Every structure is written in structure tokens, then in C-alpha cells.
């Protein structure tokens, strides 16, 4: 707990020294009224790319897991005429 408090105190004390990068701080002092809007959209686009990559990987994993399940036909039997059992189900007794 002491370490967290000391790190937060150091961050607050050094906040006045830690400005943005030189290009951003010089542009912030410029008289362009659309600067803030440009920074906003830049941040949105930079954060969207990692979200799309992670979402794509999650979707690929989900589809791969779903394709490993045994496919059942509409009549209740397996696709090849064999008895298929979906995951989590127990097989019916043979009649």
C-alpha cells in the first residue's frame, strides 16, 4: 500500500514536468480550433485496431471450437448414418 501511495504521489508531483511529446505540445499551443477534434479521432482509430484484432482472434477460436462438434442431421441421426451424440448429451439405448 505504501508503494502505491508513493508512486501516485510521485506521478502527481511530476505531472507538471511530464508534458506531451514536443510535436503535440507545440501543436496544442497553436491557434487551430480543430486540433482537439483531430486528436480525439486519432485516439479512437488507434484504439479500434487492437479491439478488432482481439475480436477477430476470439471469433476464429469460437468457430474452430464449434466446428469440432459432431454434426447431426434433421432426422436426429448422424450425418453419415452412424449414431452421433452432441457434446454434453448421453446416448440413447439401442432399440
The pLDDT value given to residue 2 = 82
Average pLDDT over residues 45-59: 94
Query: Could you tell me what percent of the chain has a pLDDT over 90?
Result: 18
Residue 65: all three cell numbers together: 471450437
Displacement of CA 82 from its chain's centroid (Å): 40
Give 86-93's long-range contacts (Cβ < 8 A, gap of 24+). none
Q: How far apart are CA 58 and CA 53, in angstroms?
A: 9
The pLDDT value given to residue 50 = 93
Look at residue 27 and tell me whether its pLDDT is greater than 70. Answer: no
Look at residue 85 and tell me whether its pLDDT is greater than 80. Answer: no
Average pLDDT over residues 28-50: 81
Q: How far apart are CA 2 and CA 14, in angstroms?
A: 18
pTM of structure: 0.42
Amino acid at each position: 500500500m505504501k508503494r502505491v501511495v508513493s508512486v501516485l504521489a510521485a506521478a502527481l508531483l511530476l505531472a507538471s514536468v511530464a508534458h506531451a511529446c514536443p510535436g503535440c505540445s507545440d501543436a496544442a499551443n497553436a491557434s487551430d480550433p480543430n486540433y482537439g477534434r483531430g486528436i480525439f479521432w486519432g485516439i479512437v482509430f488507434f484504439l479500434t485496431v487492437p479491439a478488432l484484432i482481439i475480436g477477430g482472434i476470439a471469433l476464429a477460436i469460437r468457430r474452430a471450437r464449434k466446428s469440432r462438434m459432431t454434426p447431426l442431421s434433421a432426422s436426429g441421426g448422424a450425418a453419415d448414418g452412424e449414431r452421433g451424440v452432441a457434446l454434453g448429451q448421453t446416448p440413447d439405448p439401442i432399440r
